[in-house]
Amino acid sequence: MDRLRELLNVLRQHNLAQGHFLGLMNILIGRRISRADGTEVSTGLTWRDAASLLKRAHWDREAVREVGVDPADLPPRDRQRFWYVAITRAGVDSAAATTAGDALVTALRRHGYVIGPPPGR
Asked if residue 15 has pLDDT above 80, the reply is yes
Q: What is the pLDDT of residue 119?
A: 80
6 vs 65: CA distance, rounded Å: 24
pTM: 0.90
- Return the domain boundaries, the chain: 2-115
At 84-95, the pLDDT tens digits run: 999 999 998 899
At 99-118, the pLDDT tens digits run: 999 999 999 999 999 999 98
10 vs 34: CA distance, rounded Å: 14
CB within 8 A of 56, min separation 6: which ones? 1, 5
